[in-house]
Amino acid sequence: MSKDPIDRAGLAPRFWERKPLQKMNPREWEALCDGCGKCCLNKLEDEDSGEVALTRVACRLLDDATCRCTQYDIRHQFVPECIVMRPDNIHEHAYWLPQTCAYRLLWESKPLYDWHPLLSGSPDSVHAAGVSVQGLTVSEFETPEEEWEDHIIEEPT
């Protein structure tokens, strides 16, 4: 098992079932991330329907092997448009989050999947369940935007 890059130690058991998103502290909020990497994929949004499709075209900072941002703490220096998901803006962004994302699931009052690291105890469970984008992405630098439609992936993966 790999070391969890997110500090989940010492959090109250199943805190997400008793605490609304807006009341979570920063450690609890960060612990909700399952490490799938899907939020770092470029998306296509249909102007008419509002439907959002994920593509395999990854942000330049996504490490395809770990599904983590290589510059998380300073990512806005490289990708100014990167959205910082917070309890006070989840309502604006939940619609484009992956269907399996804990932030979206909890915002929609749905339970976490059993492969989520908070339930499984392992940061690798998201990969073992086949839900992450580990090894599946293509570079945004090498993929022209007009070809992104060729890289749409079905959800949930």
Q: Tens digits of per-residue pLDDT, 25-74?
A: 999 999 999 999 999 999 999 989 989 999 999 999 999 999 999 999 99
Decide if 90 is inside a domain: yes
Decide if 3 is inside a domain: no
Question: Alpha-carbon distance 77 to 95, whole Å?
Answer: 26
Decide if 47 is inside a domain: yes
- pTM (2 decimals)? 0.91
pLDDT attached to residue 50: 87
Decide if 4 is inside a domain: no
- Yes or no: say if 148 and 42 are a contact pair by the CB < 8 Å rule: yes
Decide if 97 is inside a domain: yes
- Yes or no: say if 38 and 101 are a contact pair by the CB < 8 Å rule: yes
Which residues constitute the domain of residue 146?
15-151
**Cα–Cα distances in angstroms (integers) from residue 120 to residues 8, 10, 87, 114, 129, in the given order:** 12, 15, 24, 6, 11
Decide if 49 is inside a domain: yes
Decide if 75 is inside a domain: yes
For residue 156, name the pLDDT band (cuts at 50, 70, 90). low
Count of domains forming the chain: 1
